[in-house]
């Protein structure tokens, strides 16, 4: 439905007459019915071609996918890990702290992360670090096992921004879960038995309270995917998100469809992983006794 097509992208600034344009569209198969184009695309998956070839570069899409998928997997793994490292300690501390100014400060930190759009956050961060510190992320991406320091410099800022955004609602959920759990009968019984506050918190309260934040993390997959697409484009990370934006600009339909399916499958796998982790932490989840 977007205006333009891949023929205009391939031609660039070179003017083409109608005959050459139609000839190129015929060569690319764009003049065929959409259902036929779709069936041709989907039929490549059983053969292992994952969408065939890019209309723009003629590169096999599976090569593009295998080259850029590890970048996105690393980026999302870093972001989820950072969000957990931020949300769990701050949520626990705000729940047990008696200092109101600390609670207010954590609440401001959480509200800012939820209210500032990630696109605005990324652009402001780039402007600030380039203006105040005269620094910009590296242009050439390297794998962590080849050049760890260059890899760290390239992913550090976007990972922090996405981790902050993901952790912001989780901080409040962790705090609420801990406060609710500390008022349960078995926690009061543990206090009556003389157990130390740290033991009660870490061994009894936290394992039961952490399942709700983990479930919430699984529900934020849509936010994570959108943040990955924006941050990869802003910071030049050669992952699936940036490739998807470039394919949309070029109207490279097979690449768009394949990468979109890859992101959807990735979301489903993360949601499944979250359910499995929740079950491992709290085996009673999903049991017949709870359902009954």
Note down pLDDT in tens along the chain; length 292 residues.
667 677 777 766 566 667 777 787 787 777 888 888 888 888 888 877 888 888 888 888 888 888 888 898 899 889 988 988 998 889 888 888 888 888 889 999 988 888 888 888 888 888 888 888 888 888 888 888 888 898 898 899 899 999 998 888 888 888 888 888 777 777 777 777 777 777 777 777 777 777 777 777 777 777 788 888 889 888 888 888 888 988 888 888 888 889 888 888 888 888 788 778 777 776 655 554 443 3
Domain 61-242: CATH class, spelled out: mainly alpha
Least Cα distance to 137 among 145, 147, 125 occurs for: 125
| pLDDT of 284 | 59
Q: How many CB atoms lie within 10 A of CB 26?
A: 11
Sign of the torsion formed by the C-alpha atoms of 18, 19, 24 and 30 = positive
Least Cα distance to 166 among 94, 220, 124 occurs for: 220
| β-sheet bridge partners, residue 60 | 53
| pLDDT of 82 | 92
List the chain domain ranges: 61-242
Least Cα distance to 236 among 151, 132, 165 occurs for: 151
Instruction: Give the integer Cα–Cα distance in Å for 121 and 165.
Output: 10
Distances (CA, A) of 124 to 76, 127, 142, 156, 277: 21, 5, 25, 15, 35
Cβ burial of 153 (10 Å; 0-12, 13-18, 19+) is middle
Q: 3-state SS string over 85-122?
A: HHHHHHHHHHHHCCCHHHHHHHHHHHHHHHHCCHHHHH
| pLDDT of 206 | 74
Residues whose CB is less than 8 angstroms from the CB of residue 126 and which lie 6 or more positions away in sequence, other chains included:
136, 234, 235
């Amino acid at each position: 439905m977007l205006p333009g097509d891949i023929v205009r992208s391939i031609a660039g600034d070179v003017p083409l007459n109608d005959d050459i344009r139609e000839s190129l569209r015929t060569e690319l198969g764009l003049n065929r019915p959409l259902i036929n184009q779709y069936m041709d695309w989907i039929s490549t998956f059983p053969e292992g071609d994952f969408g065939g070839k890019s209309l723009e570069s003629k590169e096999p899409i599976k090569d593009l996918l295998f080259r850029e998928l590890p970048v996105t997997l690393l980026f999302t793994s870093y972001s989820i890990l950072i969000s957990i490292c931020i949300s769990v300690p701050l949520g626990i501390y705000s729940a047990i702290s008696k200092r109101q100014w600390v609670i207010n400060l954590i609440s401001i930190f959480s509200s800012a992360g939820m209210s500032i759009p990630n696109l605005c956050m990324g652009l402001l961060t780039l402007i600030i670090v380039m203006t105040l510190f005269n620094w910009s992320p590296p242009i050439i991406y390297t794998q962590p096992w080849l050049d760890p320091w260059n890899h760290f410099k390239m992913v550090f800022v976007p990972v922090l921004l996405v981790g902050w955004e993901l952790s912001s609602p989780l901080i409040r959920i962790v705090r609420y879960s801990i406060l609710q759990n500390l008022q349960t009968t078995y926690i009061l019984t543990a206090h009556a038995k003389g157990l130390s506050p740290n033991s009660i918190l870490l061994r009894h309260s936290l394992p039961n309270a952490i399942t709700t934040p983990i479930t919430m993390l699984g529900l934020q997959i849509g936010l994570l995917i959108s943040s990955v697409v924006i941050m990869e484009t802003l910071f030049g990370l050669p992952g699936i998100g940036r490739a998807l934006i470039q394919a949309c600009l070029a109207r490279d339909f097979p690449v768009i469809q394949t990468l979109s399916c890859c992101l959807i499958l990735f979301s489903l796998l993360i949601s499944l992983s979250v359910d499995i982790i929740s079950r491992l932490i709290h085996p009673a989840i999903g049991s017949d006794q709870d359902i009954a």
